[in-house]
């Protein structure tokens, strides 16, 4: 509206007309076109930002995905093929993949260390980055950006990657009160944002009923109806190929287990600190909730995809050969020119290890890989490691 100069103005104007479902509050806080968290020019992701994601933590991530691209291309043969990163943010991952593969071995990874040395006999795919907000996307040789999958030209085979896309979708906060499911809304009380409860939108009652999930009295749960809807769009986009999803989330029996997650999973991130204070500083902190991976898996299976992998990120990256990256070679084989370089190498080695150790990001992020139309043969990442 004219005269609005901040997200607080936008929220105040909206709340003058009545309370706001928390889901719509998240939509505004993250994606308001002018004042939303993801509309800000500076990237929220990275060491200087509010949280770190795997591609920005270590080039080990793009190295391992480069291996996957090689395997994908060897199976796609002469088919016109594309690698697409949806929710690409600043494009660092798709840029590193395009440089590693398009540059055939000359590649430099996301943080400057070596990325994959691809097989130069394979055809080169086209590379696309897709994000609903491309304000932060950096130019990368060989990468074309789009704001929607619908803007990408046709292809015969696609490798569609997404990292922390689904946990960034607006979500509702529900709470069970006796026999009734309530939905949390946002109101203004004494000049400050506060919570209020309404009977839940019937779509959330249906969500739990269809999945046979019952919440305990007083149990909170965070749900996005966009999880299955967006995944359905991803499936339609891939006539033949793979969808590879990296995200914080769990199968539904664990995600909605009252004993473990009585207060849901919603969290706010600012300057690498996590808090449960979801209403403070709207537009200036990230809001996120763990996803229900069954929503994605079952949507894909209904669309004719086969589930090829569902496990923690550490196992996936190791199965792709991440341990062969130079950052993980024995320390005795590493040579550096000076102490500063030595410290930088030690830090980079620590970050690389964080991705493949079965705790922290290596275990909290799960990977779902679904495939359609590429044959029954097992993929390298399906190798049993342990």
Ligand X SMILES: C[S@@+](CC[C@H](N)C(=O)[O-])C[C@H]1O[C@@H](n2cnc3c(N)ncnc32)[C@H](O)[C@@H]1O
What is the binding site for ligand X (CB under 6 A)? 38, 45, 53, 55-56, 86-89, 130-133, 163-165, 168-169, 230
What is the closest distance, in whole angstroms, from the C-beta atom of residue 21 to ligand X in the complex?
A: 18
Closest residue by Cα to residue 149 from 236, 33, 224: 236
Residue number with CB closer to ligand X (208 or 269): 269
What is the closest distance, in whole angstroms, from the C-beta atom of residue 91 to ligand X in the complex?
A: 9
Residue number with CB closer to ligand X (127 or 208): 127
What is the closest distance, in whole angstroms, from the C-beta atom of residue 2 to ligand X in the complex?
A: 26
Q: Which two tokens stand for residue 313?
A: 């990120």
What is the closest distance, in whole angstroms, from the C-beta atom of residue 115 to ligand X in the complex?
A: 16
> Under a CB-based contact definition with an 8 Å cutoff, are residues 193 and 186 in contact?
yes
Q: 174 to each of 195, 196, 228, 268, 377, how far by Cα in Å?
A: 12, 11, 18, 17, 43
What is the closest distance, in whole angstroms, from the C-beta atom of residue 131 to ligand X in the complex?
A: 4
Question: What is the DSSP code string of 45-103?
Answer: BSTTSSB--HHHH-THHHHHHHHHHHHHHHHHTTS-EEEEEET-TTSHHHHHHHHHHHT
Q: Which two tokens stand for residue 152?
A: 């990408």
DSSP state of 108: B
What is the closest distance, in whole angstroms, from the C-beta atom of residue 213 to ligand X in the complex?
A: 25
H helix runs in 145-225, sequence order = 202-210
What is the closest distance, in whole angstroms, from the C-beta atom of residue 168 to ligand X in the complex?
A: 4
Question: What is the DSSP code string of 308-333?
Answer: EEEEEHHHHHHHTTGGGSGGGS-GGG
Task: Give CA–CA dist 268/220, Å, rounded.
Answer: 16
Task: Give CA–CA dist 79/375, Å, rounded.
Answer: 14
Task: Give CA–CA dist 127/98, Å, rounded.
Answer: 6
Any residues with CB less than 8 A from the CB of 79 and at least 6 apart, and which? 155, 156, 157, 240
Task: Give CA–CA dist 144/152, Å, rounded.
Answer: 9
User: 372: which strand partners?
Assistant: 241
What is the closest distance, in whole angstroms, from the C-beta atom of residue 55 to ligand X in the complex?
A: 5
Residue number with CB closer to ligand X (21 or 89): 89
């Amino acid at each position: 509206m004219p005269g609005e100069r901040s997200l607080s103005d936008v929220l105040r104007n909206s709340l003058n007309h009545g309370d706001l479902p928390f889901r719509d509050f998240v939509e505004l806080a993250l994606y308001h076109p002018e004042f939303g968290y993801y509309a800000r020019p500076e990237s929220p992701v990275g060491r200087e930002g509010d949280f770190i994601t795997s591609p920005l933590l270590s080039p080990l991530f793009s190295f391992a995905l480069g291996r996957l691209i090689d395997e994908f291309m060897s199976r796609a043969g002469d088919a016109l093929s594309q690698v697409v990163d949806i929710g690409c943010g600043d494009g660092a991952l798709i840029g590193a993949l395009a440089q590693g593969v398009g540059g055939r071995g000359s590649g430099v990874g996301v943080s400057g260390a070596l990325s994959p040395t691809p097989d130069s006999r394979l055809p080169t795919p086209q590379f696309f980055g897709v994000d609903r907000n491309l304000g932060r996307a950096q130019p990368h040789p060989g990468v074309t950006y789009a704001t929607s999958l619908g803007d990408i030209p046709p292809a015969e085979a696609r490798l569609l990657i997404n990292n922390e896309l689904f946990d960034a979708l607006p979500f509702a906060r529900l709470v069970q009160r006796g026999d009734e499911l309530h939905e949390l809304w946002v109101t203004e009380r004494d000049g400050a944002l506060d919570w209020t409860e309404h009977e839940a939108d019937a779509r959330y009652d249906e969500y739990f009923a269809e999945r046979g999930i019952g919440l305990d009295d007083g149990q909170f749960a965070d749900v996005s109806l966009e999880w299955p809807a967006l995944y359905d769009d991803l499936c339609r986009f891939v006539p033949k190929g793979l969808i590879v999803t990296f995200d914080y989330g769990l199968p539904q029996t664990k995600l909605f287990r009252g004993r473990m997650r009585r207060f849901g999973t919603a969290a706010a991130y600012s300057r690498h600190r996590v808090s449960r204070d979801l209403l403070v500083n709207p537009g200036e902190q990230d809001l996120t909730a763990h996803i229900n991976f069954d929503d994605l898996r079952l949507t894909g299976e209904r669309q004719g995809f086969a589930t090829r992998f569902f496990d923690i990120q550490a196992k996936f990256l190791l199965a792709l050969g991440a341990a062969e990256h130079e950052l993980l070679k024995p320390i005795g084989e590493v040579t550096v020119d000076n102490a500063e370089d030595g410290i930088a190498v030690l830090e980079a080695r620590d970050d690389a290890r964080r991705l493949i150790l079965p705790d922290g990001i290596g275990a909290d992020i799960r990977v779902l890989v679904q495939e359609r139309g590429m044959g029954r043969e097992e993929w390298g990442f399906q190798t049993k490691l342990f």
